[in-house]
Structure 1
Amino acid sequence: MENSGTSSFPRTRRLESCFNASSRLSVKETPKIPAKELGSKLRANMHLDEVGWGSVLLSWIRVVICFATMMITTFVWALIMLALIPWPYERIRQGNIYGHVTGRLMMWILGNPIKIQGAEFSNKRAIYISNHASPLDIFLIMWLTPTGTVGIAKKEIIWYPLFGQLYVLANHLRIDRSNPTAAIESMKQAARAVVENNLSLIIFPEGTRSKNGRLLPFKKGFVHLALQSGLPIVPMVLTGTHLAWKKGSLNVRPAPLTVRYLPPISTNDWTADKIDGYIKMIHDLYIKHLPESQRPLVVEDPRNGSNS
């Protein structure tokens, strides 16, 4: 594995979500694409090359080995954390070690070349955010976020077989998204837990996985948490994962992956009346650092010159 920052290291965490209403983003900086050219550009960016049955079979074997390995490590760390029930912070630490070990093993088994950039920003106490377009993002986040990091997921994660129970045992945070009032109260509790225990957070600000790798609008939850915790925000820009493992497929291609940490963004002087502006600023930062194939599309209708 290559690392253009500091040396590589084992890191953390699984995460799924970010919450609250989507911000109203304008991405005028994104190149406008005439509708008649959209189809050809999409085909060019999808890299739908033919692969032999041998490559597909090897990929399936690797995926099966990955999930078998994850089941084993999850079971082992579940036993460890059951023994540590009286010590909540130690369970967080063990959850991070589980993520370091499991995430690194997953990426080693799959064999994709990985380049890490900006590693000097990877061990700060912060709110780490990441774009999300592939299951590989989960493995990378588990491995590459620092010890003392917790994730935030919907409360229903407890019903996910084995992994959900491990998530709860690891003392990670859950939010109630059943209604806006419950979600806001859950965020306040999460922020208090992070401040009181000197923790970091990891969040996918899009709130869901992109189906085609292109960046989705950001939701507001991570900014509310920054306002309440005072933590800086460290963007993690993942590229190539949507090409390596596409949604609905078990064929993991050997596409090169890049994880780039951007410098921390201070939130000390942020105010609640400028939330939409902060979200747009960070969303635009991702647009700047993502390749064209992962930027949001702004389609221009040639009939009237308007955006669709």
Structure 2
Amino acid sequence: MENTGSSTFLRNRRLESFLNTSSGQRVEESPKVSVKEESERRLKPDIFSNYDDEGWLLDIMSWIRIVICFVCMMVTTFIWALIMLVLIPWPYERIRQGNIYGHVTGRMLMWILGNPIKIEGSEYANKRAIYISNHASPIDIFLIMWLTPTGTVGIAKKEIIWYPLFGQLYVLANHLRIDRSNPTVAIESLKEAARAIVKNNLSLIIFPEGTRSKNGRLLPFKKGFIHLAIQSRLPIVPMILTGTHRAWKKGSLHVRPAPLAVKYLPPISTENWRVDKIDDYVKMVHNLYAEHLPGNQRPLS
């Protein structure tokens, strides 16, 4: 009986092999992976994979956290809006208060969300500079609000004024807005922003991708931050945000307890940068980001 069973098993295996090779069906092969990629995969496992599938209880907790964040942000925004109104005659003091608002509100929101955060290179976080950051999640905004130094202004599209309460506070805090309706107007808006930064001895925070990545992978950089650097001669301090796209995905109301990391890179001097090499500078900074991001956040191209 054992011999009969063995021979039947072998015949079935041969028939299966024949069908796979001669009936037009192909057996899928595993994609080829280089030795370097395999080594990186083993040494750096995806620490976020455990946060993709969670139960209904964690979903409810996530929604509760988001509601608490929204309510707390509305409260602090309303309080600081009143402070800004009192300080209308003093523009720089409004910028300072805007930063204090960001430090208080951003830190509070991150505490409510509860994600563990690792911060590296904080010795570069208090320089007068143009701070840039990759952008893939609402959490990025909270981190930027919390971590940028006092005396820093943001730059956003002019339509931000129509965002309820937050947009009005943005304007009251004397942050910068640019008109992106056409390239000529946008460039002139950037020149005005650079003049304001230099005149008031300010730092700047900007997302060079110009929009939020849908999957966490780094998008191409716009040239605006390079124009600002050349006109202001301020150094560029890259901020590498890791894991935020896993913690709170774009378009989702589900916040996961994924670990986050913020890494400041050493300042990049722009003293000798020239307008005719803008494309080279954009590529250089973009490559720097790609080098420091984990594999699941690097651009595919």
Output the TM-score relative to the length of structure 1: 0.82
- Displacement of 1:179 in angstroms is 1.2
Quick check: 1:264 aligned with 2:267? yes
Distance 2:210 2:30 in 1: 28
How far 1:184 moved relative to its partner?
1.0
Q: In the superposition, relative to structure 1, how do residues 179 and 35 fare at CA in structure 2: closer, same or farther (>3 Å)?
A: farther
Report what 1:114 is aligned to. 117
**Equivalents in 1 of 2:251, 2:206: separation in Å?**
23
1:61 aligns with 2:38: no
State which of 261, 280, 294 in structure 2 corresponds to 1:277.
280
CA–CA separation in structure 1 for the residues paired with 2:165 and 2:283: 37
CA distance in 1, matches of 2:270, 2:250: 34
1:193 aligns with 2:193: no
Partner of 1:164: 167
Q: Structure 1 residue 50: deviation in Å? A: 2.1
Relative contact order, higher structure (CA 8 A, sep 6+): 1
Aligned-residue CA RMSD (Å): 1.8
CA distance in 2, matches of 1:188, 1:289: 30
Pairing 1:295–2:298 present: yes
Runs of 5+ unmatched residues, structure 1: 1-33, 299-308
Paired amino acid for 1:156: E
Amino acid at match of 2:122: A
Secondary structure, in 3 states, of the residue corresponding to 1:209?
Answer: coil
Identity %: 78
CA distance in 1, matches of 2:30, 2:102: 43
The structure-2 alpha-carbon separation of the partners of 1:196 and 1:292, relative to structure 1 and needing over 3 Å to count, comes to: same
Residues 134 and 247 of structure 1 are in contact (CA less than 8 Å); yes or no, is this contact kept in structure 2? yes
How far apart are the structure 1 equivalents of 2:30 and 2:91? 54
1:103 aligned to 2:106?
yes
Relative to structure 1, the CA distance from residue 137 to residue 35 in structure 2 (aligned partners, 3 Å threshold; closer, same or farther) is farther
Contact preservation (8 Å) 1:212, 1:242: yes
CA shift for structure 1 position 251: 1.0
Aligned length: 261
Structure 2 CA distance for aligned equivalents of residues 142 and 75 of structure 1: 16
Instruction: List alignment gaps of at least 5 residues for structure 2.
Output: 1-28, 34-40
Whether 1:183 aligns to 2:186 is yes
Kindly state the Cα deviation for residue 46 of structure 1 after the two structures are TM-superposed: 7.8
Structure 2 contact 242–261 (Cα < 8 Å) conserved: yes
Aligned pairs for 1:199-278 (under 5 A) are 199-278=202-281
| Shift of residue 37, structure 1, vs aligned partner | 7.6
Return the alpha-carbon distance in structure 2 between the equivalents of residues 196 and 233 of structure 1. Answer: 18
Output the CA distance in 2 between the equivalents of 1:230 and 1:84: 30
Question: Per-residue deviation at 1:204?
Answer: 0.2
Q: Do the aligned partners of 1:206 and 1:217 also contact (CA within 8 Å) in 2?
A: yes
Structure possessing the higher radius of gyration over alpha carbons = 2
1:123-143 CA-to-partner distances (Å, cap 9, x unmatched) read 000000000000000000000
Give yes or no for contact 2:154–2:175 (8 Å, CA) kept in 1: yes
Check conservation: 1:240, 1:255, Cα contact below 8 A.
yes
Q: SS of the counterpart of 2:282? A: helix
**Distance change in 2, residues 1:213/1:82 (3 Å):** same
Query: Are the aligned partners of 2:210 and 2:221 in contact in 1 as well (CA < 8 Å)?
Result: yes
User: Does the CA-based 8 Å contact 1:45-1:293 persist in structure 2?
Assistant: no
CA distance in structure 2 between the aligned counterparts of 1:296 and 1:88, rounded to whole angstroms: 40
Q: Quick one: which amino acid aligns to residue 141 of structure 1?
A: I
Structure with the bigger percentage of helix: 2
Question: Are the aligned partners of 2:138 and 2:248 in contact in 1 as well (CA < 8 Å)?
Answer: yes
SS at match of 1:67: helix
Q: For 1:112, what is the secondary structure of its paired residue?
A: coil
| Distance across 1 between alignment mates of 2:59 and 2:280 | 45
Distance in 2, Cα, partners of 1:161 & 1:192: 29
Residues 15-59 of structure 1: per-residue CA shift (max 9 Å, x gap):
xxxxxxxxxxxxxxxxxxx99689xx9xx8983732111111001
